[in-house]
Structure 1
C-alpha cells in the first residue's frame, strides 16, 4: 500500500514537471538610474512586520496575441524606474532597508503544456499552479529571494497566456502591487500613467517582539475559491439588518466577513467538539482615510488592522461582529503615523497569543483595479493570488471579473475545510465558479 502511494505521488509530480518548459530568462534593469538620494529605502515598522515572502499574482488572458516581447520588456524597464525599490535587493531577512541598486527584475518566458481553462475554472490550488510563478517565488514560506520582483509570461497550448508577477511583501501591499501592474500595462500600450511615489522612507528602530518570531505548528492547509453574487450578498445584508433593533446597512465586505468568520469557526468547532476563543483580524488600507499623513495613492505598505472576538460561549452574531469591526475602525481615525498603524498589528497579535485565541485573518482587495490590467490583450479573464504562503485561516476578497459579486479565497486546515465546504448556510449565498 505504501509503495503504491509513493508511486502515485511520483507520477503526479512527474506530470507536473512536464507541464512547464522555460524558454528564456533575462534581467530587466531600470531605463534610468535611481538618484543617489533614493538608493536606500528604509523599512518602516509596518514593513518590518510584514512577512518576508513574495506575493505571486497571476493574470490570465484568453485573448493573448503574441507580439514583440521587447515592447513588454521595455515598458517594464520604464516602470521599475519609478518603482525603484522593485529593482533593488533585500540583503538578508533581517535587513533594515532595501538596497535600490538597479540590479533589475527577472523576466521569464515559459510554455505550459496545458490549456488556460484548466487553471481559471479550478476551485482549489495545487502544485500545477506553481509552475506559472517565476522561480516558484511565494509558493512556499521558505521560498524567498533577495530579488524584490520577478515576472513570468507563460504560453498555453490553446493560445492564451498567463502573466505572473511575484512581489516581495517588504516592498509593498496589494494596493502597491495593483498600481505597479496597471502602470506597467498603460506604458505597454503607449500611455502615460500618473505614477505616484513611494512614501518617504525613514529609519525605524523597531525590533520585532519575540512572541512574533515563534513559529506555530505546521498544518496542512487547503485553499478553495467561492463566488458570492451581489444578489445573494444583498439577501445577506437584508438578513443582518433584521437582527438588531435598527438597520445597520452593512457593506458587502462587512456582511461576507461576518458570515465567513461564523462558518469557519463553526467548522473548527465541529472538528474539536467545543467552541474556543477566536479573533477576527481584518486588514485595513490606510490610504484615503481622513488623516493627511497617509497620502491617498502612496506606494509601499500602508495598512492597519481592526478586529472582533468571541469568547468560549455563545454563537457568533453577525451584526455584533460588524459592530465590533466598525468600533475599532473609528479608533483608527486617531492613527496619524506609520508607527501607530504598526502598533495595531502588534497589539492584535499579542492579544491572540496571550489569550490563546484561534485567529482568522481577512484581507479585502475589492475595488482594487486588478481587472483593469490591459497590456493590449484585453482585460484579464481571471486574476489569482497563490495564497499558500499566507498560512492557515487566511481569507481574501476580490471583485469577480464582471464586478457583480465577490470572489473569496479561503485557506483552512484540511479537516476543517472538508467541513466548511459542505456548510449549508455558506452555500445559501454562493454560486459555481
Structure 2
C-alpha cells in the first residue's frame, strides 16, 4: 500500500508516505478462559476518543549494527510488540456489540510503516513552536468508541525521517486504558525490544478491574450532559517549559506557608492562577473558576475492596472538581492558597476512597462527574480540565538504541492543560481560546517562571 499525506510547514511541503500496514497479533494464543475481558464502570465513562503519544527518537548509532537497516528496525519493533501483546492481550481484541467487554481472539493491532521527507531536527525546530504539527504523525485510523466493534483498539505508526531518526506514534482507545496504562504499555514494549525480558516478566498487571468495579447497564442515564469549553472557539496551543530552578523557587515560596508542596501542585496552581488573571483582564473582575483535576487511584483504594496489588490495567482514575471563588473582585489569590485548595480537595476524595466499597466508589465517581458537567453548563464559571503524566516513565522508553529526544501529546479542540516531565523540569501544554492565549503569553507569572522552547 502507499498513502501520502501532505502538510505545508512554513512554506515547506511535508509529505508522509505510508508504505505498509500490518496486523500485529500476540506471539502466543490468548487462553480460552481469557477470551472475554470485562470492562469496568471506569472504562464505560472514559472519553470517547483515542489517546496518542508520540515518541521522537534519534538515529540509530553505528554500534547497533543489527539496526542500521530500516527493515530491521521495523522487524524488531513488530516482534517485540507481538510478544508484549501476550501480556496486554485486550489490546489485540475487539469491543463487544453491547460495549461491556472486549472479545479477545487475537485479532491484532494496526502497525503502519511510514516515511517523511524531512529531517528530525528540522521538524523538531518547527514543532516546538507550532505544537499542532505533531498530529501529522498520528495513525490515520479512526478508532472512536462508536466505531469500535470490529475495529482495532490500538494503532501504531512508525515514521522514518530522512538521514535517520523516527517518531513512534502510539494510540490506544481511551475505553481500554488511561494515561498510566498507555505509558505502561509502551514502557513494557520498549523493555522487550531491548531484550530485558526478565524485567518484563517480573512486572505483572492486573486485568480484573471489571470484576472489582463491574459495568453498569444504566450508567449514562445517571450522568448529566455536557462537554468542555472551546469546541465553539478557535483554540490556540502553546508549550510552556518550567525548569527545575523555576520550580524550586515556586516550591520555596509556597513552602513558607505549608510543610511540603509537589512539583505538579505548584505548576498547576501557577497556571490556574494565571488563567484566572486572564479572565479578569477580559471581564474586568474575578469570576468563579474550576479545575477538572485527574487523580490516579492506583494504591489509593481499600485493600479489602481492591486487594493489596492495585496495579490495574485499564482506566482507574477519578476526575474531581476543584472550585475557587474569590472574595475580592480585583485581587489575585496567593499561590499557597491555590496549592492548599488543590491539596485539600484531593485529600478529601482520597480519604473517602480509602475506605469505600465498590458501590460507594461508584457513587463518588458519578457525583464528581455530575458536578463537573454542571460546571461545563454554567456560563458563570470558567472550567479547565487538567491532567499530569509527570513521574510516568515516558522519557525512559528505550527500544534498544536510545531514549526519546522528546515525547509529545497532541492538542485538543477545547480548553485544557497537560503536564509532562521534560528533560529538566515540566512541560505544560496549554490549549486555550486564541484571545485569552495572547494575554496568557504576557502574564507576569508565565513570563517570570516559564519559557517557550526554541
Asked if Structure 1 and Structure 2 have the same fold, meaning a TM-score greater than 0.5 normalized by the shorter chain, the answer is yes
Deviations 1:271-313 (A, max 9, x none): 3444322111211111122632273422111111344312265
CA contact (8 A) 2:224 2:374 kept: no
> Is it true that 1:153 corresponds to 2:158 in the alignment?
yes
Task: Report the Cα distance in structure 2 between the residues aligned to 1:99 and 1:55, rounded to whole angstroms.
Answer: 21
Please give the residue correspondences for 1:17-416 in structure 2 after superposition, counting only pairs within 5 Å: 18-64=14-60, 65-67=67-69, 68=72, 69-90=74-95, 95-121=99-125, 122-125=127-130, 128-135=133-140, 146-192=151-197, 193=200, 194-202=203-211, 203-205=214-216, 206-208=218-220, 209=222, 211-212=224-225, 217-242=231-256, 246-289=257-300, 291-292=302-303, 293=306, 295-311=309-325, 313-314=327-328, 315-331=332-348, 332-335=350-353, 336=356, 337=358, 339-340=362-363, 342-343=365-366, 345-353=368-376, 355-356=378-379, 357-388=381-412, 391-401=413-423, 404-416=424-436
Give ranges in structure 1 of 5+ residues lacking alignment.
1-9
Q: Give the TM-score normalised by the residue count of structure 2.
A: 0.83
CA contact (8 A) 1:400 1:406 kept: yes
Distance 1:15 1:83, change over 3 A: farther
Q: What's the secondary structure of 1:223's corresponding residue?
A: strand
Distance 1:11 1:97, change over 3 A: closer
CA contact (8 A) 1:286 1:304 kept: yes
Distance 1:225 1:196, change over 3 A: same
Give ranges in structure 2 of 5+ residues lacking alignment.
1-5, 61-66
Task: Report the Cα distance in structure 2 between the residues aligned to 1:248 and 1:306, rounded to whole angstroms.
Answer: 24
CA contact (8 A) 2:39 2:209 kept: no
Deviations 1:361-400 (A, max 9, x none): 1211111111110111211000011132xx4221111111
Q: What's the secondary structure of 2:224's corresponding residue?
A: helix
CA contact (8 A) 2:419 2:428 kept: yes
Q: Select between 408-417 and 210-219 the one with higher mean Cα deviation.
A: 210-219
Task: Report the Cα distance in structure 2 between the residues aligned to 1:126 and 1:258, rounded to whole angstroms.
Answer: 23
Q: Give the TM-score normalised by the residue count of structure 1.
A: 0.87
Aligned length: 415
Deviations 1:141-169 (A, max 9, x none): 99988321001110111311111101111
Q: What's the secondary structure of 1:108's corresponding residue?
A: strand
Distance 1:13 1:59, change over 3 A: closer
CA contact (8 A) 2:226 2:377 kept: no
Match of 2:438 in 1: 418
Displacement, 1:20?
A: 0.7
